[in-house]
Amino acid sequence: MQRHTASRSRPWTLENLLSEARLGPYLAATDGSLTSALRLYDWNTQASSAFHEELHYVEVGLRNAMDRQLAAWAKGLGAQSSWYADSRVPLTPRTRRKVADARNNATRGGRPELHGKVVAELMLGFWWSLLSDEYNRRLWQPCLQYAFDGPVRRTRLHSELDELRRLRNRIAHHEPIHGRDLLADHQRVLDVARRISPRLSERVEAVSRVPKLLVERPATLCT
């Protein structure tokens, strides 16, 4: 039997490890300078981390505010179980499939089903979808509008959350965000947080690292 032995290859370079495809957008933004591209890459990771911290507050605050309102509404309808499991709450088949997946994940390994664990398994896209046009009469008008502070336009909130969802997905997949209007993204985070609760927005603004990082943006991008 022929034996296969690993051969010693030349040392990996940082460019190889990060990959040419991944560095491409950074090289394009810095006129092909590898040094500048890597500096931009470093800044992009820091900015992504800072935005992830902001989005953490928004996502957790959003789902808890909506969950509480849905729970109170379902109880008023006579629900004896969690709102997501009661047939009187008018969820679409697609939404119920997402709930089923969340319940399966929350009970994996024989764990008991806990309401809070299931809610935590429902991603930002799930809560965003409950604010869409198809749920305007089903959930927004009778219930979800009261999860927010003061009068809120559902269509605008849905659109703003969509932008934040796209930003979150780029960050989660380690994609570049340096080409976005990040100041607008930061203001959007604060605006959505304020619609959930002014106290939430104040907290995000108090702890956010984003404004400082935007000032420290590499000079190669300040054109």
Residue from 134, 131, 124 nearest 64 by CA: 124
The model's pLDDT over 171-181, given as tens digits with 9 standing for 90+, comes to: 999 999 999 99
Helix and strand totals (H; E) in the chain: 10, 0
For tokens 């930061």, the residue is: 186
State the DSSP code for 219. G
Q: Residue 141 corresponds to which tokens in the numbers above? A: 């008008």
10 pLDDT exceeds 90? Answer: no
Euclidean distance between the first and the last CA atom of the chain, given in angstroms as a whole number: 62
Region 108-131: what's the mean pLDDT?
97
* Mean pLDDT confidence for 141-158: 96
**What confidence category does residue 20 fall into, taking pLDDT thresholds of 50, 70 and 90?**
confident
pLDDT value at 12 more than 70: yes
pLDDT of residue 150: 86
pLDDT digits (tens, 9 = 90+) for 33-49: 899 999 999 999 999 99
Q: How many residues does the chain have?
A: 223
Neighbours of 18 (CB within 10 A): 14
**Percent of the chain topping pLDDT 70:** 94
What is the rounded CA–CA span in Å between residue 5 and residue 190? 56
CB 167 within 8 A of CB 51: yes
How does pLDDT run across 53-107, given as a tens digit for each residue? 999 999 999 999 999 999 999 999 999 899 999 999 999 999 999 999 999 999 9
In this predicted structure, what is the pLDDT of residue 4?
A: 57
d(CA 158, CA 17): 38
| Chain mean pLDDT for the chain | 92
Confidence at 222, pLDDT banded by 50, 70, 90? very low
SS3 for 73-135 is: HHHHCCCCCCHHHCCCCCCCHHHHHHHHHHHHHHCHHHCCCCHHHHHHHCCHHHHHHCCCHHH
pLDDT value at residue 171: 97
Give pLDDT, residue 223. 43
**According to the model, what pLDDT value does residue 131 have?**
98
- The predicted pLDDT at position 42 comes to 95
pLDDT exceeds 90 at position 195? yes
